Structure 1
Amino acid sequence: MSVSISVLASHSALDVLDGAKDEGFRTIAVAKRGRERAYREFPVVDELVVLDDYRDIVREAHRLKGSVFVPNRSFAVYVGYDAIEREFPVPIFGNRYLLRWEERTGPHNYYRLLDEAGIRRPRTYASPEEVDRPVIVKLPEATRRVERGFFVARDRDDLMRKAKRLAERGLIRLEDLSGAAIEELVLGAHFNANFFNSPMYRRLELHSFDRRIQSDLDGVHRLPARDQLDLDPDVRYIEVGHEPATLRESLLEKVFDIGHRFVDAVARLVKPGVIGPFTLQFVVTPELDLVVYDVAPRIGGGTNAYLGVGGQYSKLYWGRPISMGRRIAVEIKEAVRQGKLEEVTT
């Protein structure tokens, strides 16, 4: 096939590369030196480009000529939205202008997308002084700025007490509180819904559900309650993996509703709208309401749980389970066949 598929070698790249190979595409992976081993070990990469820094991908974009680039979270974080929108010359599968809306602060944020869609989300607070109930505070770590320095607090006083303690431990910076996202803590069961919006087939597909595995939250959960109380750990929320999940069938009506609402809202706010995969992360309350607390406007990391297996609901569309990486390749292949590649890239 004349078109190749390229990806930054991180996050969900193996899923994308494997799916591309399944559909007969040549593959290109762009890795950072010292983090390329998996992409050498697994035989799904036809060309491995190794750079000293991920940001160098803009300068070395000529090495991706003839490819369609599939963005992931690592690409957005390490390369940056301005460079992606203005400097990166390679056709991107999906809407490159939607990537910056994954943030929680600033004029382009996913709270605004959810509000436009009429989707319930946690209440947010502009400052610690406004907090009047249990909250989760979302801000970066002090040193590893791409990792999460999240913490939970009962009220305003507990928030400040915990923030000072975490800052003293070197885990967060107190000055980051002014730009932190402070959300009402909504208790319930957590799920990630992985969707695919298809211009070629003119439909929204629900592919799978997954859940996050976080360190050291996962380890704390495994401790008996008495040990948790004795240790009183400052729980951290570093995402290290995902696991497959299912949702009771009677709730699928609501899942499709928020999926369609999100697609319609993005079509109004961020032209040309949603193209390809996106993930809505939500809590199911005991009242069976869905409260969306996070959005991934690109392939979600949790789709890795279905690499080589395929999302459980994808079989209902395709007659066989396919991974999200393969679903992306199917869309690109169909766009090439119809001569409409410009309809799935920006």
Structure 2
Amino acid sequence: MIKRKEVQDLVDSYDKESITIGVLGGHSALDVCRGAKKHGFHTIAVCQKGREKTYTKYYRTREDGRGCIDETIVLDRFADITKPEVQEKLREKNTIFIHNRYFWVYFDFTDIENNFLVPIFGTRGMLKLEERDVPKNQYYLLERAGIRYPRIFKSPEEIDRLVIVKVNEAIRGYERAFFYASDYEDYRKKSKELLERKMITKESLDNAVIEEYVIGAQINFNYFYSVINNELEIMGTDTRRQTNLDGLIRLPANEQLEVLKYVKPKLIETGHIA
């Protein structure tokens, strides 16, 4: 991993009066850049071809004060951000990159940890803990913090209540092919169907977390720990929009049963509502 001193030396070389806030063109980019502009920072969005118009056209900064994206770098693929010439341009702009889950979806963790020599706000070593298949993952952190979380079943044979099986898609490993099961037979039937349709792989199924399904309000609490003020701040709450699940749950129960004869539920993130 890139050493902390390397990053500190790089930040020391920056022009502190001309800092640029960098983001990947997606997810919370507009939120970050709007906040950055409010506090007087220059902004830059790194975009992927075919997905850049939001940043190059609709939200670009204008002379009348509208917009929040000052500059864009448009790449063939998001992963090209680790190319030396792209990194050099970001460093020339005195860029501090704001990362998020979206950022890590498109890159190899090791590549960012070892080769992306651009200062990242926060730690570049913790985001992978969101993955469920690493040793000290989110469940480990919850346990250490004393925060309750749903029961985890070590094997499908143990299922004795409604569970959600958190398995990733075969092709897009960052997307979810989660399914529900009420017992072992139900698990076998549904997992077999997904395997036959090549929606998931045997490996991803073996690595899936089988988690008790807890009924309750679904709310994301957004926190921020300030090392400057030594305070934990709650920034707000939001809920997610998932396709095609959101469309299904808006139907009456009897209509859902009819639709489910032809359509399988999917839990793909399409947006957040704050």
- Letter of the structure 1 residue corresponding to residue 137 of structure 2: N
2:31 paired with 1:15:
yes
Native 8 Å contact 1:164 1:174 kept in 2: no
* Deviation, structure 1 residue 131: 2.2
Q: What does 1:195-210 align with in structure 2 at a 5 Å threshold?
A: 195-210=223-238
Q: Matches of 1:229 and 1:76 in 2, distance apart?
A: 37
Q: What does 1:75-90 align with in structure 2 at a 5 Å threshold?
A: 75-90=103-118
* Deviation, structure 1 residue 22: 1.3
Residue number in structure 1 paired with 2:3 = none
Native 8 Å contact 2:159 2:182 kept in 1: no
Residue number in structure 1 paired with 2:197 = 169
Q: Matches of 2:52 and 2:154 in 1, distance apart?
A: 41
Q: What does 1:1-346 align with in structure 2 at a 5 Å threshold?
A: 1-40=17-56, 41-43=58-60, 44-59=68-83, 60-65=86-91, 66-232=94-260, 233-244=263-274
Q: Matches of 1:31 and 1:228 in 2, distance apart?
A: 38
Unaligned runs of 5+ in 2: 1-16, 61-67
The CA RMSD measured in Å over matched residues stands at: 1.5
Q: Secondary structure at the match of 1:189?
A: coil
Q: Matches of 1:142 and 1:81 in 2, distance apart?
A: 19
| Structure whose CA Rg is larger | 2
Q: Secondary structure at the match of 2:233?
A: strand
* Deviation, structure 1 residue 129: 2.6
Bigger Cα displacement from structure 2, 37-46 vs 62-71: 37-46
- Letter of the structure 2 residue corresponding to residue 234 of structure 1: K
* Deviation, structure 1 residue 101: 0.9
* Deviation, structure 1 residue 231: 3.1
Q: Matches of 1:71 and 1:180 in 2, distance apart?
A: 26
Q: Matches of 1:230 and 1:168 in 2, distance apart?
A: 23
* Deviation, structure 1 residue 160: 1.2
Q: Matches of 2:271 and 2:87 in 1, distance apart?
A: 30
Higher relative contact order (CA 8 A, sep 6+): 1
Q: Matches of 1:238 and 1:112 in 2, distance apart?
A: 25
Q: Matches of 1:228 and 1:179 in 2, distance apart?
A: 30
Unaligned runs of 5+ in 1: 245-346
Residue number in structure 1 paired with 2:63 = none
Q: Matches of 1:126 and 1:53 in 2, distance apart?
A: 38
Native 8 Å contact 1:163 1:174 kept in 2: no
Number of residue-to-residue matches in the alignment: 244
Q: Matches of 1:242 and 1:9 in 2, distance apart?
A: 16
Instruction: Give the alignment's TM-score, normalised by structure 1.
Output: 0.67
- Letter of the structure 1 residue corresponding to residue 45 of structure 2: A
Native 8 Å contact 1:138 1:148 kept in 2: yes
Provide the identity percentage: 48
Q: Secondary structure at the match of 2:219?
A: strand
Change (3 A) 1:47 1:118: same
Q: Matches of 1:236 and 1:192 in 2, distance apart?
A: 19
1:13-49 deviation line (CA, Å, top 9, x unaligned): 1111111111111111111111111111212222211
Q: Matches of 2:134 and 2:154 in 1, distance apart?
A: 12
Q: Secondary structure at the match of 2:238?
A: strand
Q: Matches of 1:198 and 1:187 in 2, distance apart?
A: 33
* Deviation, structure 1 residue 181: 1.4
- Letter of the structure 1 residue corresponding to residue 59 of structure 2: F
Native 8 Å contact 1:100 1:108 kept in 2: no
- Letter of the structure 1 residue corresponding to residue 30 of structure 2: L
Bigger Cα displacement from structure 2, 206-215 vs 77-86: 77-86
